[in-house]
Amino acid sequence: VVNYPIVISTWDFGVAANQEAWKTLSTGGRAVDAVEAGVKIPEADMKNHSVGRAGYPDRDGFVTLDACIMDELGNCGSVAGIEDIAHPISVARLVMDKTPHVMLVGDGARQFAIEQGFKAERLLTKESEKEWKKWLKKAVYSPKINIENEMMKPGSKYNHDTIGMLAIDAKGNISGACTTSGMAFKMHGRVGDSPIIGAGLYVDNEVGGATSTGVGEEVIRNVGSFLVVELMRQGMSPEAACKEAVDRIIHKKPEKSKEIQVGFLAINKKGEYGAYALQEGFSFAVCDKDKQDLIIPGKSVY
């Protein structure tokens, strides 16, 4: 039995993003078009301070965005540390479609976007600037993630994060997209897992796809999303594969693992899905022909 078309994505804002993706999937469109359209919803959301235009800036006040996309043919595109462009996922899509490259960073990514007709605009909102100035008073920079913990508390105003989305279209083809403003008040130039193919996102059309959210450094160290897909290739269910990837992080850094959040989300070729996270508080959204749900998976010790 197979279950597609289907789209799944990280966090509660995934519900609205999935609805947008579903418009493409339910009318016979390609998964890659669906995921691009889907993640543009949180990218454009002015209330969302962890993805796209209203994202919190880095510690020097620059809003720098990361995104990547991967299709069923193994094509992929990525931008990292791009400034002034509200929809980094669409720039990543054009890196994939129109250049011989996979990844463009910083000013080069911005220049490419402008050449492709994107508007350069100030992304730092008044609200984000206010939060940044508040943060500057103490300027506690702790990559071991006080801010991330705060983000993960249900109801916290930081309680939104990277969106990673995976879709299977009516033909059974799998694609994924991932987009973020990264860790709030990060070092200028810091890049997380989200735009790194294999870390924040990976798709193999024969096996499935995976994406991640949380502290990108730990995901990069373990090449997390690639690992999840490879574990599914060996026969693990999506949830078991996500759990094993989380366990690798715990195994390598047991102490640090107590203080940070990392979550993986995965789907296999049949449209079975699952997720696992280091800490409580992670959620993901599922949309297929029968349902539109928000699911709260367990944490590593449940």
Which active-site residues does the annotation give? 162
Is 110 marked as binding a ligand?
no
Is 95 marked as binding a ligand?
no
Min separation Cβ 161 and ligand SD4, Å = 5
Min separation Cβ 229 and ligand SD4, Å = 17
Is 191 marked as binding a ligand?
yes
Residue 54 is given by DSSP the state: G
176 or 216, CB closer to ligand SD4? Answer: 216
Tokens of 113: 């976007």
192 or 274, CB closer to ligand SD4? Answer: 192
Is 106 marked as binding a ligand?
no
Is 216 marked as binding a ligand?
yes
31 or 145, CB closer to ligand SD4? Answer: 145
Nearest to 96 by CA among 117, 72, 120: 72
Min separation Cβ 82 and ligand SD4, Å = 13
The continuous run of DSSP H or E covering 133 comes out as helix 126-138
* Exposure of 133 in the CB half-sphere (CA atoms within 13 A): 7
216 or 297, CB closer to ligand SD4? Answer: 216
Do residues 150 and 160 touch, judged by C-beta distance below 8 A? no
Min separation Cβ 19 and ligand SD4, Å = 23
CA distances to 98, 179, 194 from 90, in Å: 12, 10, 15
φ, ψ for residue 267, nearest 5 deg? -140, 145
The whole-angstrom separation of Cα 187 and Cα 244 is 30
Q: Which residues bind ligand SD4 (CB under 6 A)?
A: 148, 161-162, 180, 182-183, 192-194, 213-216
Q: Which residues are annotated as a binding site for substrate?
A: 190-193, 213-216
Q: Which residues are annotated as a binding site?
A: 190-193, 213-216
